[in-house]
Structure 1
Amino acid sequence: MNPTPQLGFEHFITQTDGLGKALFAILVVMSLATWYLIIVKAVSNARTRRRSNAFMQHFWNATSLEAVDREITTHGANDPFSHLTSHALYARQHHARFGAAKLEEAGSQSDFVTRTMRKVIDEETAKLENGLTLLASVGSTAPFVGLFGTVWGVYHALVAIGQGGGATIDRIAGPVGEALIMTGVGLAVAIPAVLAYNFFTRSNRVLLSRLDAFAHDLFAFLTTGQQIAPAGNVHPLKNAPAAPQRPDVLAPGQ
């Protein structure tokens, strides 16, 4: 009685050639990179949301922008909202003190503040999107890497069967089934990457939408001392003196 051959993924890896092992190693590296990014970005996004909510709560309960500036100086700018506020306050103070000393500072104070805020928003967008390209690449290429491994494994399995001088179902099923495992491995690597990419993309879009809305309110405070409400009214910052509204210092579109 012939002993039953030990088939399975381990057997497939041991009997495949260098290319098959290289494809499997690529999938392993893709999987490790994917899960590393998922864990790191999940922790980072949770910390960013917590710090952003804490700063926003302090901002709207502050008595003046000077109090907000002191809070940032004391605790630092550790989230996108405090980072934006810190640079916007510095830009206003810098332009009021030195004027347009350089080309990037040309124009009115509101123009300089607007450019500074846009630069900060671009920086925060790039920071939030860091690593998403890798997730998208893994999600789109891992199934094809696995499929390539399957095709290569099936080819070698059929060659071995042909050299053995027989093509019965029991001789074909084992080697071909082992090769098909590579397709499953490719899907197992790609699915978490795609789901994580979609989740982080939506999370970033929501946060950046909040940051953009906050930037409009902050710009209104810096130029008029008041918040522009959706209905067209204005609400002053708590106990903050309201400066007279001047059309020439409003940003385009305000």
Structure 2
Amino acid sequence: MSAFDLLFRGDAVSTAVAVGLLLMSVASWLVILWKAWMLQTALGDTARSTAAFWQANSLDDALAVLRAMDREALLLPVAEAACTPPVGFLASTADRSQQLTRVMRDALHRVLRRLQSGLVLLATVGSVAPFVGLLGTVWGIYHALIGISGAGAMTIEQISGPVGEALIMTAAGLAVAIPAVLGYNILGRLVARIETDLDGFARDLRGLLLTQTPVSSNPTAA
């Protein structure tokens, strides 16, 4: 049984399973390729941007460096949040250390949510795809046995062919799930490395700002 047979010659359930596996595979590979490129770029940019940031002569120069080098905007939101004067009575009257902790924590959370986007899809596909393939196999074997029983006498040859064809669905489910699981694990490690770098940058920047007077520069200035 070819992929064409599975898609167009099976019943509604078989077709739905085949189309579902195809869509999950396409979505997984799109996420894997996109996130791999994005995270590799971010990893290199983060290292270069951090080094250039600490070599700048002033905070204004350091922010300008981040705007030029931080293409994925990972360090820049954290630095701009820390260097922006507090807005609101409660924020402005809070302790400087608490202000920095709050705004930098919020900025880091936003950045990490963007870094982790797509990983949930890979985890879901890796968990669900084998069972979707198994559903297609069970359904195919059921219909194969119904067809054979209606034909009268059964032989091994009559059973092995349809059952073997139905098992393609299980193989297809594994073929979809394995790249998704591997992609999730590899990309998750890259995200963890970047998260460690961002956390270290935020801690160092917070320590620097606590030794200075509050910064009043405009972070959106070119």
What is the TM-score normalised by the length of structure 1?
A: 0.77
Aligned with residue 129 of structure 1, among 110, 116, 119: 116
Contact persistence 1:51–1:79 (CA under 8 A):
no
Aligned with residue 38 of structure 1, among 28, 32, 36: 32
Q: 1:77 to 1:87 in 2, by over 3 A?
A: farther
Other-structure match for 1:196: 183
Contact persistence 1:13–1:21 (CA under 8 A):
yes
- Cα distance between partner residues in 1 of 2:71 and 2:30: 26
Identity percentage of aligned residues = 38
Contact persistence 1:140–1:190 (CA under 8 A):
yes
Aligned with residue 148 of structure 2, among 161, 164, 185: 161
1:108 has 2:108 as partner: no
Contact persistence 1:52–1:79 (CA under 8 A):
no
Q: 1:134 to 1:78 in 2, by over 3 A?
A: closer
In the TM superposition, 1:52-63 aligns within 5 A as: 52-63=46-57
Aligned with residue 149 of structure 1, among 132, 136, 140: 136
Contact persistence 2:115–2:191 (CA under 8 A):
yes
Secondary structure class of the residue paired with 1:49: helix
1:174 has 2:161 as partner: yes
Contact persistence 1:135–1:196 (CA under 8 A):
yes
Structure (1 or 2) with the larger CA radius of gyration: 1
1:207 has 2:201 as partner: no
* Shift, 1:54, TM fit: 2.3
Contact persistence 2:46–2:194 (CA under 8 A):
no
- Cα distance between partner residues in 2 of 1:78 and 1:38: 17
- Cα distance between partner residues in 1 of 2:192 and 2:149: 56
Which is helix-richer, 1 or 2? 2
Deviation per residue, 1:209-232 (Å, 9 max, x gap): 11111111111111125xxxxxxx
Contact persistence 1:9–1:181 (CA under 8 A):
no
1:25 has 2:19 as partner: yes
1:185 has 2:172 as partner: yes
Which structure 2 segments of 5+ residues have no match? 214-222
Matched AA of 1:120 = A
Which structure 1 segments of 5+ residues have no match? 1-6, 226-242, 244-254
Matched AA of 2:79 = T
Greater relative contact order, per chain length (Cα 8 Å cut-off, separation 6+): 2
Matched AA of 1:187 = L
Secondary structure class of the residue paired with 1:55: helix
Instruction: Identify which range, 69-78 or 163-172, moves more after superposition.
Output: 69-78
Q: How many residues align?
A: 213
- Cα distance between partner residues in 1 of 2:67 and 2:162: 66
Other-structure match for 1:50: 44
Deviation per residue, 1:68-98 (Å, 9 max, x gap): 13434666774312221122112xxx14xxx
* Shift, 1:104, TM fit: 3.9
What is the TM-score normalised by the length of structure 2?
A: 0.88
CA RMSD in angstroms, aligned pairs only = 2.1
- Cα distance between partner residues in 2 of 1:31 and 1:73: 36
- Cα distance between partner residues in 2 of 1:105 and 1:115: 12
Contact persistence 1:153–1:179 (CA under 8 A):
yes
1:80 has 2:74 as partner: yes
Other-structure match for 2:203: 216
Secondary structure class of the residue paired with 1:165: coil
